[in-house]
Amino acid sequence: VPLEAFGGLYQQDQWSGLQTIVIIERIRHLWNKTTHEVQFYLTSLPADAQHLGRAIRQHWTIENQVHWTLDVTFHEDQCRIRSGHSPRNFAILRRIALNALNQEKTLQRSLRQKIKQASMNNDYMMTVINSFCKA
């Protein structure tokens, strides 16, 4: 929905560049239940449903792939760290490790194999850290 269709927002001057408010309604039918959710997005892009839909799907595709990788490779969903700032800190460390392993290109192996190699070989671990620091 173009911003003009709203007739102005509360303190609109604080929303510099805002052009469009996107409203997405998702209804998902599973065999035993139906879920319904509504999501709102604010964007500086013009109101073009096709373009915005592609951008949102692309964002969630990337997000889901990263989550899948973190869950399968680092077993993130099975982690029982629950107290204080620890869950967020470990999530950040996992993402740093994932990025560092993806930056390292000399060993053409899976992420699990790279993790195992880095855990057993200090020289390779330093290669991973160095390639991450140079990027």
Q: Residue 103 class from Cβ within 10 Å (0-12 exposed, 13-18 middle, 19+ buried)? A: middle
- Domain boundaries of the chain, sorted by first residue: 1-50, 69-135
CA 101 to chain centre: 17
CA quadruple 118, 122, 124, 125: dihedral sign: positive
Q: How far apart are CA 70 and CA 67, in angstroms?
A: 5
Render pLDDT for 64-96 as a digit per residue (tens, 0 to 9). 888 888 988 888 888 899 899 999 999 999 999
CA quadruple 64, 69, 75, 79: dihedral sign: negative
Q: Of 90, 103, 89, 94, nearest to 133 (Cα)?
A: 103
What pLDDT score does 23 carry?
A: 93
Q: Per-residue DSSP letters for 24-76?
A: EEEEEE-SS-EEEEEEEEEESS-S-HHHHHHHHHHHHHHHHHHHHHHHHHH-G
Question: How would you write the pLDDT of the chain (135 residues) with one tens digit per residue?
Answer: 898 888 878 888 888 899 999 999 999 898 899 999 999 999 999 999 999 999 999 988 888 888 888 988 888 888 899 899 999 999 999 999 999 999 999 999 999 999 999 999 999 999 999 998 886
Task: Enumerate residues 6+ apart whose C-beta is below 8 A from 74.
Answer: 94, 97, 98
